[in-house]
Amino acid sequence: MIVLKTPEEIARIRLSGRVVHEALQAMQKAIVPGVSTTQDLENAAIEVLTRHGATSPFLGYKPSGHPPYPAWTCVSVNDELVHGVPGRRVLQDGDIVSCDVGCLLNGYYGDSAWTFAVGSISAEAERLMRVTREALLRGIEQARPGNRVGDIGSAIERYVRKAGFSVVREMVGHGVGKALHEEPQVPNFGRPGTGVLLQEGMTLAIEPMVNAGGREIRTLADGWTIATADGSLSAHFEHTIAITDKGPVILTQGS
Ligand code: MF3
Ligand code: CO
């Protein structure tokens, strides 16, 4: 079942989304090449969420067949694309680090992710980040009443392919707002004009994961971290958006 939100509910999701945005900014600020650990980034996000009276829907999240997720955020480095568990790993100059933050504030959920550079990165890593961010924006652009879910995925996939990179297919975006994961699923690939009809009042997390090499993935021994199978770099950008009569509105930014 797809839950449509009223403008009042969308405003509440935006409040949660603002906290997510602030937490992501704090994580980026906490990056000191050769010094900060992934746990330091986690701690920066925890400080922001806690200060706003929010909690993390990731902590203790337990899909079947998984151990409960042990942290507030996901911090994934280089070939890790998502669900990296923060810990003692030190971020090194030239790394890229994908930070994923969910927020539960007064019953409403926001979800956003961003890949940051650690110090100075290669031109190829820079291009991967730029293409993934642009792919997200191309997908968001399609999130308007009358379009279909396949229009979002196909816009993302087409743009990524043209750049010579590949889209991960096993993990997808999702409805979000009254729960962390709602219907519909939002794949980062698809055919135009197919899938669920998009309507005013839908709130979606759109989140392309893009690999510099092949699209295949593997799960690391911790049971959570997902990495590229071929060891190539991966980037991840995600926004929570609302579909309105005026088109898509991003809810996980500062305004
Ligand atoms: N942004 C991811 C998602 O929407 C985060 C889930 S991470 C987990 O699925 F840690 F909670 F699993
Ligand atoms: Co998400």
Each residue of 73-108: pLDDT tens digit?
Answer: 999 999 999 999 999 999 999 999 999 999 999 999
Q: What backbone torsions phi and psi does residue 140 show, to the nearest 5 degrees?
A: -60, -40
Cα 9 → chain centroid: 21
* Residue 57 CA, closest ligand 1 atom number: 11
Rounded Cα distance, 215 and 161, in Å: 11
The answer to whether the Cα torsion of 79, 221, 64, 85 is positive or negative is negative
> In the chain, what percentage of residues exceed pLDDT 90?
97
Would you say the C-alpha torsion 66, 72, 236, 157 has a positive or negative sign?
positive
Residue-level pLDDT at 65: 85
User: Residue 205 C-alpha to ligand 2 middle, in angstroms?
Assistant: 6
Rounded (5°) CA angle 84-178-76 = 10
Cβ–Cβ < 8 Å for 39, 97: no
CA distance 87 to 187: 30
**pLDDT value of residue 132:** 99
For ligand 1, say whether the CB of 83 is within 6 Å of any of its atoms: yes
Interior angle at CA 133, CA 131 and CA 137, nearest 5:
110
pLDDT above 80 (res 255):
no
Of 211, 230, 212, the C-alpha closest to 169 is 211
Contact 102, 180 (CB under 8 A): yes
Which of ligand 1's atoms lies nearest the C-alpha of 176?
Answer: 4
Give the atom of ligand 1 at the shortest distance from the alpha carbon of 171: 9
pLDDT > 70 in the chain, percent? 100
| Contact of 221 with 214, CB cutoff 8 Å | no
Q: Is the CB of residue 42 below 6 angstroms from any atom belonging to ligand 1?
A: no
pLDDT of residue 187: 98
Measured in Å, residue 57 CA sits from the centre of ligand 1 at 8
- The answer to whether the CB of 28 is under 6 A from ligand 1 is no
The residues whose Cβ lies within 5 A of ligand 2, an ion, are 111, 205
Distance CA 216, CA 251 (A): 31
Q: Is 61 in the pocket of ligand 1 (CB under 6 A)?
A: yes
Q: What is the mean pLDDT of the chain?
A: 98
**DSSP class of 148:** B
Distance 61 CA to ligand 2 centre (A): 13
Q: How far is the CA of 113 from the centre of ligand 2 (A)?
A: 8
